[in-house]
Homo-oligomer: A and B are copies of this chain.
Amino acid sequence: MTDFLPPIQTTARDDAVLKALAGFVRQEALGPGEKLPTERILAERLKVSRNTVREALTRWEGLGLVERRQGSGTYLKAAVSPDMLHMPLTLSGGNDFAGLMRTLEIRRALEAEAAALCAIRGGKAEIAEIERKLDIMEDAFRTRAGMSSEEDWEFHQAVYRASGNPLFEQIISAMHELFHRFWEHPLGVRDFGHASFPYHRTIFDRIAAHDPDGARAEALKLIATVEDDLKRGAANLELSDRR
């Protein structure tokens, strides 16, 4: 039988709006951070109601593609192309300690693989960039006598980028946001991340030596120290926590 008779579209205005807008972004070669037309202009140009435009933009906002600032405008937050795949993950129960440990297990998996890929595919330029971030991080560590989560994060991002697979950065960045939202402040550990410090250089060494298995192993060790720190912090918290 004719297996493929696509259902006719009598109403899918907002979807059409998104398609048109994706085309527009492509046409104008808009990149992240740039401002796109106001809702009123879009509504007028596309011959749809402003509400419909808003529904479409709400979708994109929910997908993290776009950011709306009242009184200012709507801005592109990520590259957008007509052939995107959306993979909305909703993770239930992530705001307690167990949830954090679960996300960390995901991160361990991705971190190890990214480091390994990096050792395989990393070119001279990428490796140099990683080393630069590493130097900055070690410098900050020495001057401030403590882990700096900002520089630390920069280092890891450089590794993800050098892996040649943008998905690593996308997924871990999303998790990183969640991580911070719940755990940046309440955690009572003072020297958080202190133990993980030396492994950054060992990871880099294995990557620079193009030794994927070694890089994978070192990355696993690094995450293990973070898990330990976290467990210690949770234990500290137990002593004073109510409820």
Contacts and interface: CB of A to CB of B under 8 A. Distances in A.
Interface in A53-71: 54-55, 58-59, 61-65, 70
A171 B59 contact: no
A239 interface: no
A186 interface: no
B106 A167 contact: yes
Number of copies: 2
A149 interface: no
A51 interface: yes
A109 B109 CA distance: 5
A188 interface: no
A240 interface: no
Contacts of A117: 105
Nearest to A78: B90
Given A70-B11, A110-B106, A81 B89 contact: no
Contact of A167 (B54, B58, B105): B105
Nearest to A59: B62
Interface string A106-137: 10111011100100000000000000000000
Given A58-B59, A95-B83, A110-B106, A171 B89 contact: yes
A171 B90 CA distance: 9
Nearest to A108: B113
Given A87-B91, A89-B167, A171-B171, 4 more contacts: A55-B58, A59-B62, A105-B165, A106-B171
Closest 3 CB pairs of A and B: A109-B113, A85-B94, A62-B62
